[in-house]
Every structure is written in structure tokens, then in C-alpha cells.
Amino acid sequence: MKNLKIRKYCKGDEKGFLALDRKLEEHKYNRRSISNFLWKYKSKNFFGKSVNYFSEYNNKIIAHFGAIPLGWYLNSKFTLGSCSIAMMVSPEWQSKGLIKFVGDKVFDDLKKNKVDFVYGFPNEKAYLLHKNIWNYKDAFDQNLYLINRKKIIEENNKEFVITPIAKFEKSFDLFWSKNRKYYKNILDRRSSFLNWRYLKRPDDQYKPFFVYQKKQLLGYFILKKYYDGKTLTIHVIDLFFKDTSQSNFNKLFKNIFSYIKKNQKTFDNISLWINGSRKINNSLLNLGFMIISSRKMIYKNLLSKKNLNLDKMYFTMGDTLEIY
């Protein structure tokens, strides 16, 4: 078709991207923004340049597909992965096969950049597209845990100290490198990435906290508020802790959620994703969290044909880089 193009980003495309997003109304209460677009695709990410392609017809953007490179440790070995995001097609162009050509351009660039695999959490419709068009594989079902504010038991154990984080300093990298070995499959959480991901993102306010036990750093957690028009939920976007006993994890999380309840005065629920940690899963269930839904995590090999065995991947909301 003469006036149909598939191309990389040109200055000003963020406006057309936003218009397409509004047309589809994918995230009514957590909408994408121009500042978010520029942060994802144009700012400096430690792991490399993001890739995104557009399709335009008669100078109007009608489709988009993007991916952000991320460092992962798989079986404790560093590899470069990528999170696929913002697959969008204007309604009048859906079911015409257009998105395959846009996505193929993204995958070709990722391969050139030595990215080993790509993953995502598509909605039901997009899930079938990913499976049928690009042969994505199922990795695991990501559970959403939720507890109502009223069911949180307040406790103030002075053994634990929780302090806000203004910045992840380089000194944190020693803690990270010592303790990532307890999680064989995990996103690289070095300080430079955490600062870019949570403290340099311009359109959302994340609140990170360190947790100490007897003056020793146990790990961190990061909060973000989400309002859906009816209820205010506090998402525990990310969390990473050194390995400890099940009973200590139980005490730790009891104090964390008690701290949230005490210091965040107006909210209805706390929710989080967690995969790949049996102890944290047990602690949440012991404290009264309910699993209210699940969503499939899928992936596609780009360079290797090996089965990546991602079912035990440690995963949180923050590892998606999309709406959270």
C-alpha cells in the first residue's frame, strides 16, 4: 500500500503515540504520557537502547510495538533480555496482519543488539496474537496478591527499622551481588538500574524503603499508589531481600505491612506480584493475602533455541516496565 510505512521513531512521534493510546483507552486510570514515552525510549538505560517501531498511514500513526533491554541472571549467568511493551494497532487496522511486520522489525533490532530473549504480560487478545504470530512460549502464571487495609494487623517490632531511600548508592551493589545468588533467575537490580527505573521516571512517584534488622540491611521494597476510580490501592511494585528463615520472613512482612498501614493514611488495599520465592509466597498467605487473579508471563527466544525454564523466575510488578 503506497502510503503505508513501517519506520523507527521520528521527533514528535510521541504525540501520535499518545493519540493512538487514547483512542484505544487501554489504561483508563493509569494512562501513558509523553514524559513516560521519552523516559522509556529516549533516556539512558544502563542495559542499552530501547527499540520501538511505528506504522503510519497518510502521515498518521496507526500501530506501535516497543521493547526495553534489561539485564537478567538466568541460572545465575548474566544474559540480556527485553520486555516487550505497548503493542497497539488502531481499530480499523486490526486483524489485517500489520502488527506482525512492525513486531518483526523490533525483534530484528533486538537480535542485532545481542538480546537473547523477549518477554511480556499481554492481555487475553494480545496473548493469542503473540502465541499465533511469533510462537511465544508460556513461562508461568503471575499471581496478584491482595489484602484489605482492615485485615492488616499492626505491629511495631523495634528489631526492624524502615527508612526512606533518596537514591540507591553504589554501596548497594555489594549487597546486591552478595544476595542475588539466592535467586537463580532474577532481573539485575544494580543501583544504576534501580535509580533509572524508579527514581528517574518522571510521570510516577515511587517510594522506596530500606529495611534493617539489628542494624544489618535486609533489603528494600518500593511502593506506588494506584486509583481505579473507586478504590485506592498501594502496589508493592518491587521488593528484594536477602534469604532468611521462613519465621523471619513472616516477622519481616508483618512489620512492612504494619508500617504501610501506619504511614499511608488513606488507602483501601495493598497488592503485589511475586513469583519465584516460596518463602515470600508463604508469608503473604500467612498474613491473610488472597490470590485474586493471575496473568500469563510469556517469552520468545531470539538468539538461543534452548528452553529457558523461566517458571521459577523471581518476578515483581516492577519487572514489567509497562503500567506499573
Asked if the structure places residue 100 within a domain, the reply is: yes
Asked if the structure places residue 191 within a domain, the reply is: yes
Asked if the structure places residue 310 within a domain, the reply is: no
- For residues 182 and 254, state if they share a domain: yes
- For residues 102 and 241, state if they share a domain: no
Asked if the structure places residue 276 within a domain, the reply is: yes
What's the chain's average pLDDT?
Answer: 92
Which of 119, 141, 163 corresponds to the end of one domain? 141
Q: What is the mean pLDDT of residues 254-270?
A: 93
Asked if the structure places residue 203 within a domain, the reply is: yes
Asked if the structure places residue 314 within a domain, the reply is: no
- For residues 169 and 262, state if they share a domain: yes
Asked if the structure places residue 318 within a domain, the reply is: no
- For residues 277 and 259, state if they share a domain: yes
Least confidently predicted of 2-11, 26-35, 37-46, 84-93: 26-35
- For residues 177 and 135, state if they share a domain: no
Per the model's pLDDT, the better-predicted residue between 107 and 154 turns out to be: 107
Q: What is the mean pLDDT of residues 272-293?
A: 94
Q: What is the pLDDT of residue 157?
A: 84
Q: Does residue 62 register a pLDDT over 90?
A: yes
Asked if the structure places residue 280 within a domain, the reply is: yes
| CATH number of the structural domain spanning residue 246 | 3.40.630.30
Q: How many domains does the chain have?
A: 2
User: How far is it, in rounded angstroms, from Cα 259 to Cα 79?
Assistant: 36
Range of the domain at 264: 144-296
- For residues 10 and 66, state if they share a domain: yes
Q: Band the pLDDT of 26: cuts 50, 70, 90.
A: low
- For residues 129 and 157, state if they share a domain: no
- For residues 137 and 160, state if they share a domain: no
- For residues 180 and 207, state if they share a domain: yes
- For residues 131 and 198, state if they share a domain: no
- For residues 157 and 290, state if they share a domain: yes
- For residues 180 and 284, state if they share a domain: yes
